[in-house]
Amino acid sequence: MSKELHVIGKASRKVGVMQKVSGQTVYAGDISLPRMLYCKILRSIHPYARIKSIDSREAEALPGVMAVMNGKDSPKKFGIMLRRGDDEVLAIDKTRFVGDSVAAVAALDEETAEEALKLIHVDYEVLEPVMSIAEGTVPPNGEPIHDYAELGNIHKRVSLEFGEMEAGFAKADLIQEDIFYYEGNTHLAMEEHATVAHYEADGKLTIWSSTQNPHYLHKAVANVFDMPPSRIRIIAPPTGGGFGGKVDPLNHEMVVSKLSMMTGRPVKITLTREEVFYAHRGRHPVLMKVKTGVKKDGSITAMDFKSFLDGGGYGSLGVATVYYTGALQTVTYNIPNYKFQGARIVTNKPPCGPKRGHGTPQPRFAVEVQLDKIAEKLGINPLDIRLNHLTRPFTKTANHLSITTTGLRECIEAVEKRSNFREQYGNLPLGKGLGLACGSYITGAGFPIYWNEMPHSGVQIQIDRGGGVTVFCGSTDIGQGSDSVLAYIVAEELGVTVDDISIVTADTSLTPVDLGSYSSRVTLMTGNAAIDAARKLRTLLFETAAKEFGVPLESLDARDNVVFCPENENCSISFPDLVVKAESEHGTLGSVGSYAPPPSTLGGKYKGAGVGPTPAYTYSAAVVLVDVDLETAELKVEKIWIAHDVGKAINPLLVQGQVEGSVYMGLGEAMMEEQVFRRGLHKTPSLLDYKSPTFLETPDIETILIETNDPNGPYGAKEAGQGPLLPIMPAVANAVYDAVGVRIDEIPIHPQKIFKAMRDKEKGKEGRYGPKGVPEIPFPDPIRVESQWGQRADQESSR
Amino acid sequence: MRYEAPDSLDAATELLSSEPGVSRILAGGTDLLVQMHAGMTEPDLIVDIKKIPDLRAIVAEDSGFRIGAAVTGAEMGEHRELKSAWPGVVEAVELIGSTQIQGRATPGGNLCNASPAADSVPAMVAAGATVTVVGTEGTREIPVQEICTGPGQTSLKKGEIVVSFKLPARPSRSGDAYLRMTPRTEMDIAVVGVGVNLTMDQEGNCIDARVAIGAVAPTVLLVPEAAAALIGTKVDESALAELASAASAACRPIDDKRGTKKYRIKVAGVLAKRAAKIAVERAGQSL
Ligand SMILES: Cc1cc2nc3c(=O)[nH]c(=O)nc-3n(C[C@H](O)[C@H](O)[C@H](O)COP(=O)(O)OP(=O)(O)OC[C@H]3O[C@@H](n4cnc5c(N)ncnc54)[C@H](O)[C@@H]3O)c2cc1C
């Protein structure tokens, strides 16, 4: 469509933001219902223990306590993987980390509920915990943490091979092997999770919850309580940040539902910040071994990538995470032959799951740092080793992923230009350094979490007789601006102003399904569904107007609440007037639209091919300027230039916000954040102790948006919420090397690590800090698939 | 739990000493309330000392300053004369927490909470500050470094209150400085903190010095060997190098989440050097 755009592409205010800044937004934690009870959860003090008995008689007798429950009261398991889920509503017979849920109380107020927890007596048999990847890969001393684990405590092993590895390595002039470690960290959304459940006398259950995924929660709740989904309504009020931490259905949501059923009253829980650290589902710690063969010109002949993930106590989306640590290495640079082996290990720590970038920041860190090491050995500038070997648009990768548009070249060139990288790299004074890195991410997973052929996103539009437009969609605004995207698109298509639009989202009884706010899928998928719905309605309205004016439908345009014919001044009608005429002609006005990714983008047929495909990949490149104190090794990031190929910025201001937010989060991961434990105990479960940057550590960020107009995106748009995080961590590591000549092959890059590497280097040892080995575990024989690297990827419109 | 806010010292010491259960003094509450919230302490009696006038004043006295123990960090930062005489002490107090914390946090609380990493303590010790302690059995005046006996432990007896800090009169050409190392700029606890206070003569020789280090031992350390490395020198590179090794040598740190032993030892030396340079510069300006 070559129509001029009036709303799309313009910087404008976010929908709902005035309510947020004035304190009017009603979050889940603000909801209060008459007769509401408050829930508190008793948590395990042992990393691993069997529950021999729970005596809650004293708690039940405490005045003000209305119900006490434990795992036996609701024994069915659940999880984001649905039928394969291993989450328990409350521990059934074992607790698997410090903070795991054991029992719950509903009382008239929070204080009484807390008091009652002290009166619940749990008799534990303490079991031998598994606290590390290494411990989890050897046959356990005690019993495995989960029955489904293989070889002790291994949750999942993956082994895939694309192309001819031996031949690939044989062609290489240099074979580089490195081992990297990426420590776990958590989301740190500002809003702690809150849920209110209300089970009413007609047998219907309504849940208001801070969730990114009302649809999957809907399915999980139905499953746990064996209830028809038609009796359950999930509402996600505006969510105060998610970053992946509210993707999984979580046990507190089930607990308050059950307590509401037991008491016939609404029940509410708000997790404390400490409990949020236990609910976790954050970044997996990953140990990686990368072997890459390159020719003298830096072209990669083969890559063999191994990853070992520390999963924590439960499965979460971990199976997908393992695959993601191997999926997207291939989409940035040409890798004709590729092998991936990954294993997720269960340990007695809070469960890891999806966090911004889901399973891809860790391997991206490894690939980008290794590439710099290779470039140095070959005497190639870090820019060129990337620029000379970029994947091409509309081609496939070794592992059968279809690339549509790629703006990686423009991204690299843009940050090069602003930072003057080519001249400055290697030439700054000792202590100052520049680092370059790139990344790529999916714009929405090609497949839903459970197999089905239905749309991934649905939008419904209704028009009232005054000209107001209401847009219904299951999508969930977690702060990223998905409500805004719906409003802008419908405003653009119908020619009304954004202020005339009401958005109703994330309510399973009112809104068509959208799968949820994960995998950076929302702008592309709800956007396309919204266009689909809006254009149907636009046609209806324009038909009426065309008839009225006696002009062809194609000659009409609409903007600012007026439908008009640009060629004929006399043909003009206000949107409300047109609505009245159209409703008189057609009857009630409304339309629906839906979207599912086009089959051509859905990847290969091999087992595991479901992780990685997407309608469109985004690309980013960043250059980071650091200062390393030569005596104390203190690390300061002084400036960041980042370019992101967003396809098309629906609202450039919101995209910039997403990019800057990603940079900020990436810096936290790069420099300080870590989820670490001592004897099973989380060391820093508070905002004071868990070190995350403040704005004092956040440098000047220059954001450059690259627009490649992807044929699969609405108006050409791709994602912006996760991709820009990816280059930050490796760029910092590469900059530290440029500054002081030491390699930190481990995230986070604490000053002590730089300090140690600098001292080692002074003593003539290798100036490197990082892991030295990976566990030897038997991987199954790889599934061998022919490489599709470089093949043409078909273009086709969405189904 | 009982809360009392008496307006006299006598009433406060009386309340504290007659309480049979656990009693705690409340100043800004930025340590105490956090500890209570975390369930680390459950006092039966809380005595808020902020209503006692003596504890809330900064007064010039004997050419030095007397600072009430319950004066806030923000108030110290806004006191122009104090800041120009003791820039190191004031900058240490101003490093505590953040702007919000500064509005509540007090030097008395920072000292009596007895964290080895308390920021104002090394600066106070380097300054040669003393504290006035009042209890039912009378008043005593002791050096700041005699208050803390170990992490979370003080030499204060039941019912005793730290009333004020006394910063001594300042010879001309004196300067002090406090530097700390933290992984993030604000809202963080020192990995190492070093306070240096010195006096120079007209020829540019250091004639007096005190060096104190925090976060590297169970209590803040006053390090005479480090001071000795400066006294009698022009605080040149070789004196600074000796200062650094003396400071490092005094450290007895633990490995913990905030820093490894080796790292803390090295950084203590570096910070001592840098703080001494700043102190010399300030001494030059304080003619
Ligand atoms: C977010 C945050 C950040 C922080 N950052 C820092 C930091 O950067 N550096 C740092 O050093 N500290 C930091 N702290 C700790 C704290 O703010 C300081 O130790 C502060 O100086 C304590 O003063 P207060 O008046 O709030 O003490 P309170 O909490 O009122 O008291 C602390 C302890 O001292 C006792 N006490 C108080 N006054 C007296 C008195 N006059 N006589 C006898 N006993 C007394 C109390 O009973 C209590 O045990 C931080 C705290 C928070 C919450």
Across the interface, whether the CB atoms of B185 and A696 are under 8 A apart is answered yes
> Do residues B185 and B275 share a domain?
yes
> Do residues B63 and B161 share a domain?
yes
Tens digit of each residue's pLDDT (9 = 90 or more) over A168-225? 999 999 999 999 999 999 999 999 999 999 999 999 999 999 999 999 999 999 999 9
B275 touches chain A (CB under 8 A): no
Contact of A314 with A98, CB cutoff 8 Å: no
Name the one residue in this structure whose structure tokens are 């659940």: A78
Tens digit of each residue's pLDDT (9 = 90 or more) over A738-761? 999 999 999 999 999 999 999 999
Give this prediction's pTM: 0.96
Q: Is the CB of B26 under 6 A from ligand 1?
A: yes
> Do residues B148 and B188 share a domain?
no
Tens digit of each residue's pLDDT (9 = 90 or more) over A65-85? 999 999 999 999 999 998 889
* B262 contacts on A by Cβ (under 8 Å): 756, 759
> Do residues A754 and A661 share a domain?
yes
CB pairs under 8 A between A and B: 41
Token pair of A316 as six digits: 């979460």
Quote the distance between the C-alpha of residue B60 and its chain's center. Answer: 19
The tally of domains found in chain A comes to: 3
B185 touches chain A (CB under 8 A): yes
- Measured from the Cα of B106, ligand 1's closest atom is 25
Q: Is the CB of B161 under 6 A from ligand 1?
A: yes
> Do residues B144 and B195 share a domain?
no
Q: Is the CB of B112 under 6 A from ligand 1?
A: yes
> Do residues B154 and B205 share a domain?
no
Token pair of A534 as six digits: 């809006």
Distance from CA of B43 to the nearest CA of A (A): 17
> Do residues B138 and B178 share a domain?
no
CA of B50 to the centre of ligand 1 (A): 14
As averages over each run of 10 residues, the pLDDT of chain B (287 residues) reads 97 96 97 93 97 97 95 97 97 94 97 97 98 95 97 96 97 97 86 97 96 96 98 97 98 80 94 98 83
CATH code at position A661: 3.30.365.10
Domain contains B183 = yes
Q: Give residue A791's identity as a one-letter amino acid code.
A: Q
Instruction: Report the pLDDT value the prediction gives residue B287, as an integer from 0 to 100.
Output: 54
What is the average per-residue pLDDT within A439-452?
96
Q: Give residue A302's identity as a one-letter amino acid code.
A: A
Calculated CA dihedral for residues A329, A332, A335, A339, nearest 10 degrees: 10
Q: Which residue of A632, A683, A697 is in closest CB contact with B181?
A: A632
Q: Is the CB of B30 under 6 A from ligand 1?
A: yes
* A751 contacts on B by Cβ (under 8 Å): 183, 263
CA of A333 to the centre of ligand 1 (A): 54
> Do residues A462 and A427 share a domain?
no
Contact of B184 with A694, CB cutoff 8 Å: yes
Q: Is the CB of B106 under 6 A from ligand 1?
A: yes
Nearest CA in chain A to B34: A688
Quote the distance between the C-alpha of residue B85 and its chain's center. Answer: 16
Instruction: Report the pLDDT value the prediction gives residue B257, as an integer from 0 to 100.
Output: 67
> Do residues B112 and B161 share a domain?
yes
Q: pLDDT band at A283, cuts 50/70/90?
A: very high
* A631 contacts on B by Cβ (under 8 Å): 266-267, 270
Instruction: Report the pLDDT value the prediction gives residue A1, as an integer from 0 to 100.
Output: 43
Instruction: Report the pLDDT value the prediction gives residue A222, as an integer from 0 to 100.
Output: 98
Contact of A618 with A332, CB cutoff 8 Å: no
Distance from CA of A681 to the nearest CA of B (A): 13
* Conformation bin of residue A179: beta by default, left when phi > 0, alpha when psi is -120 to 50: beta
Distance from CA of B267 to the nearest CA of A (A): 6
Among A257, A279, A301, where does a domain finish? A279
The domain of A326 spans: 286-447+602-785
How far is it, in rounded angstroms, from Cα A140 to Cα A13?
Answer: 55
Among B105, B138, B167, where does a domain finish? B167
Q: Which residue of B185, B266, B270 is in closest CB contact with A697?
A: B185
Q: Is the CB of B196 under 6 A from ligand 1?
A: no
> Do residues A464 and A442 share a domain?
no
Domain contains B114 = yes
Contact of B45 with B19, CB cutoff 8 Å: yes
Contact of A317 with A248, CB cutoff 8 Å: yes
CA of B263 to the centre of ligand 1 (A): 27
CATH code at position B239: 3.30.390.50
Q: What percent of chain A has pLDDT over 90?
A: 96
How far is it, in rounded angstroms, from Cα A717 to Cα B230?
Answer: 65
Name the one residue in this structure whose structure tokens are 């859905």: A602
Distance from CA of B213 to the nearest CA of A (A): 16
Among B125, B146, B167, where does a domain finish? B167
> Do residues A617 and A758 share a domain?
yes
User: Best of B30, B49, B134, B189 to mutate for ligand 1, by most ligand atoms within 8 A of CB?
Assistant: B30
Among A595, A627, A648, where does a domain finish? A595
- Per-residue pLDDT for A796 more than 70? no
Residue among B99, B266, B273, B277 with most chain A CBs within 10 A, to mutate? B266
What is the average per-residue pLDDT within A598-627?
97
Domain contains A114 = yes
- Per-residue pLDDT for A272 more than 70? yes
Tens digit of each residue's pLDDT (9 = 90 or more) over A118-148? 999 999 999 999 999 999 998 877 899 999 9
> Do residues A590 and A737 share a domain?
no
φ, ψ of residue B285 in degrees (nearest 5): -90, -10
Calculated CA dihedral for residues A739, A745, A750, A752, nearest 10 degrees: -80
Q: Which residue of B181, B184, B263 is in closest CB contact with A672?
A: B184
Q: Is the CB of B148 under 6 A from ligand 1?
A: no
CATH code at position B93: 3.30.465.10
CA of B110 to the centre of ligand 1 (A): 4
Domain contains B22 = no
A37 forms beta bridges with: A267
Measure the N-to-C terminal CA separation of chain B; round to a whole number of Å. 53
B277 touches chain A (CB under 8 A): no
Instruction: Report the pLDDT value the prediction gives residue A3, as an integer from 0 to 100.
Output: 73
Q: Is the CB of B187 under 6 A from ligand 1?
A: yes
- Measured from the Cα of B41, ligand 1's closest atom is 49
Name the one residue in this structure whose structure tokens are 């300006």: B285
DSSP 8-state class, residue A185? B
> Do residues A657 and A705 share a domain?
yes
Instruction: Report the pLDDT value the prediction gives residue B186, as an integer from 0 to 100.
Output: 82
Domain contains B9 = no
How far is it, in rounded angstroms, from Cα A438 to Cα A361?
Answer: 11
Token pair of A299 as six digits: 């072209």
B243 touches chain A (CB under 8 A): no
* B181 contacts on A by Cβ (under 8 Å): 632, 634
The domain of B163 spans: 50-167
Residue among B189, B192, B257, B277 with most chain A CBs within 10 A, to mutate? B257
Q: Is the CB of B25 under 6 A from ligand 1?
A: yes
Instruction: Report the pLDDT value the prediction gives residue A83, as an integer from 0 to 100.
Output: 82
> Do residues A418 and A324 share a domain?
yes
> Do residues A585 and A608 share a domain?
no
* B260 contacts on A by Cβ (under 8 Å): 752, 756
Domain contains B36 = no
Among B152, B167, B182, where does a domain finish? B167
Please state the length of chain B.
Answer: 287
DSSP 8-state class, residue A396? B
Q: Is the CB of B180 under 6 A from ligand 1?
A: no
Domain contains B64 = yes
* Of A191, A229, A190, A193, nearest in space to A209 by CA: A193
Domain contains B27 = no
> Do residues B153 and B62 share a domain?
yes
Measure the N-to-C terminal CA separation of chain A; round to a whole number of Å. 18
> Do residues A650 and A669 share a domain?
yes
The tally of domains found in chain B comes to: 2
Q: Is the CB of B113 under 6 A from ligand 1?
A: yes
Domain contains A667 = yes
How far is it, in rounded angstroms, from Cα A53 to Cα A48?
Answer: 15
> Do residues A331 and A299 share a domain?
yes
CA of B97 to the centre of ligand 1 (A): 10
How far is it, in rounded angstroms, from Cα B170 to Cα B174?
Answer: 7
Domain contains B40 = no
> Do residues B109 and B148 share a domain?
yes
